[in-house]
Amino acid sequence: MAIAIASEEVKALVELAKEKGLETPHTRREKASICEIGKKGLCCNVCSEGPCRITEKHPYGVCGLTADQIVAKNFLRHVAGGVACYVHVCENTARALMNGEVKDERTFNEVCEKLGVEKKPEALAEFVIKDMNKPRWQESEIVLKLAPKKRLEVYKKLGIIPGGAKSEIVDALVKTSTNLNANITDMLLHCLRLGLVMGYTALRMNIWMNDILFGVPELREVETGVGAIDPEYVNIMTTGHQTALQQKVIELAGKEEIQALARQAGAKGVAIVGATCVGQDLQARLQPPCFIGQCANNFGTEPLAASGLIDAVVSEFNCTFPGLTEIAKKEKIRLLAVDDVAFIEGAELLSWSPEKAEEVARKVIEKAIEAFKERKKGGKIGSVKKAKIGFSERFVEENMETILKVLAEGKVKGIAAVVGCSNLVSCGHDVLIRDLTIELLKRDILVWTAGCTAYALQGLGFMSEEALSYAGDGLKAVCEALNLPPVWDFGICMCVARIVTVAEMVAEKLGVDLPDLPVVVSAPQWLEEQALGDGAFALDCGFLLHVYPDPFVSGSKLVTKVLTEELPQITGGRLLVEKDAVKTAEIMEKHILEKRKGLGLKV
């Protein structure tokens, strides 16, 4: 059975790949064998006696672990893995800042003042790295200084103020190893502790340091989509999340000497094709002549690579799909990893460091130019769409009174953050993202987005005037008056941190706690462990969090009950697992109306 795909453009690319005999995630998913026991979190493989698979006939592992304990251990290990990924990204951004220049003085000064750090780039970078490397028994200064006071009281009462980011991750892995921690409460509390590491250190500090280095995104209209790619250019596609590692490639590609080299090879010039989260971030911050815009989210990268339009893929993080290896062989694409965490089979490793950034960037571009000479060039594919992007904390701060006014009047009932990855299991590629967004908009709920979800909505026209046809009367009137789309793009997936920062600003303005706000969060097509770390942060904040599919916890009635029924009395947050877009939107709307009632707002 063919996988459903929301975008006609991606459908066409997948079909083109099929005609060439190339596999993509969409065709591999049709043939995949999925472990139903593993999906419930009921498989344990951390010792040689296993893997132990828990069933009704066999309710214990060899060591005596129950289904509840195995699910809790697996969940904690997944959350730790996801948080580790973004801690890595944040550490590299700090390295770049240590050797970089301040572009946005306002953000730099504000962040240094919040953290009590000397106003020098290297001082801020050193502070972040030192905080990450603290032992667990020394509380994270980043969390203590950034978490809102009302939330901090909750975290202290629960005993979940984390120590150093890396030590929290290490001890999570220790706890979940063989014949160690089997206390379900402790493991779930450790997930919440890791959520705070994720939200305040790995996400927020990374975003702020990027803002300092490259400038805060500004509201602008951009062109997006595969139709913007000219096959006569040397086209370098990005994959990853680490803007600091790709920045020099962009800068160098824009120089006349590099463009001249490309022309000597028979090309019109060099162009950077945005894909996955790093492309989303570059699009929000930069408009150099060589950057043509965002053209794919995670599951769109392989079909795009198979299109005959791409010469090189420069990777520094996920989503760098291993399936690119076979496509690259047949399409003569150079795979270039600038961070060994994204070093897939068939790639060449050109390790980035702040000191070697320009040297590495030059090698990337030179290799792409060589590949251009061999590429079998196809014609233009797809269409170009316009999108209004570049929303940020600064935009919301400058328009706070207007936002509060339309919320108070009820023209906009509340905010839904629809964020994160895309996957193929949530009804198909970008399908649940699209359907849930439509259902929310018709209920006069403003949608804020970030990550691969953002490009899905961007490519489907939700960040332009055409999306107003989905909006309810109140939301439509507000958007028309402000000349804004009904979906606001906050950028890269790590900009979940921006959305929470904005929520904190609103809560402070109203004098309430985060769980009191008419705000809901959804990762309708989450894919990776990072999303589980993000989710832990959302639950820390006290939000209703919708996800699909189940995050491997349904095999435990106890863990499921804690996350879906008991957590509201602990942090205020609650997990909702639901596949149906209409039912999800109804639950979200009901939650938002209850929060409005609690604030004394019109319902």
pLDDT in tens, 49-73: 989 999 999 999 999 999 999 999 9
Q: Kindly state the DSSP code that residue 274 receives in the 8-state scheme.
A: E
Give the model's pLDDT for residue 288. Answer: 62
The rounded distance, in Å, linking the Cα atoms of 350 and 339 is 7
Give the model's pLDDT for residue 378. Answer: 73
Tell me the three state secondary structure of residue 1: coil
Domains and CATH numbers, the chain: 60-214 (1.20.1270.30), 226-374 (3.40.50.2030), 388-598 (3.40.50.2030)
Give the model's pLDDT for residue 425. Answer: 96
Cis peptide before 135 (omega within 30 of 0): no
Helix (H) or strand (E) holding 540: helix 529-541
Q: What is the DSSP string of 235-275?
A: EEEEESS-HHHHHHHHHHHTSHHHHHHHHHTT-S-EEEEEE
Q: How far is CA 360 from the centre of its chain?
A: 26
- Interhelix angle 452-459/276-285, rounded to 10 degrees, is 70
Residue 576, token pair as written in the block: 């909702």
Give the model's pLDDT for residue 58. Answer: 92
Nearest of 351, 317, 51 to residue 202 by alpha carbon: 317
- Interhelix angle 206-214/105-115, rounded to 10 degrees, is 150
* Global model pTM greater than 0.85: yes
Residue 468, token pair as written in the block: 């107003």
β partners of residue 546: 522, 576
Per the CB < 8 A criterion, the answer to whether 275 and 301 are in contact is: yes
Our CA dihedral for 526, 530, 534, 539, rounded to 10 degrees, sits at: 80
Alpha helices in 272-349 (DSSP H): 276-285, 301-305, 324-331
What is the CB-side half-sphere exposure of residue 205 using CA atoms within 13 A?
37
Amino acid making up residue 114 = K
Q: Is the dihedral of CA 306, 310, 315, 318 positive or negative?
A: negative
The rounded distance, in Å, linking the Cα atoms of 98 and 127 is 11
Sorted by sequence, the CB contacts under 8 Å of residue 79 that are 6+ apart come out as: 172, 191, 194, 195, 529, 532, 533, 536
Residue 243, token pair as written in the block: 């803007």
Give the model's pLDDT for residue 96. Answer: 97
β partners of residue 489: 449
Sorted by sequence, the CB contacts under 8 Å of residue 505 that are 6+ apart come out as: 393, 396, 397, 400
Helix (H) or strand (E) holding 501: helix 496-510
State the first-to-last Cα distance of the chain, in angstroms, to the nearest integer.
44
The rounded distance, in Å, linking the Cα atoms of 423 and 527 is 6
pLDDT < 70 stretches in the chain: 287-288
Give the model's pLDDT for residue 446. Answer: 98
Per the CB < 8 A criterion, the answer to whether 13 and 307 are in contact is: yes
Helix (H) or strand (E) holding 520: strand 519-523
Nearest of 535, 551, 550 to residue 500 by alpha carbon: 535
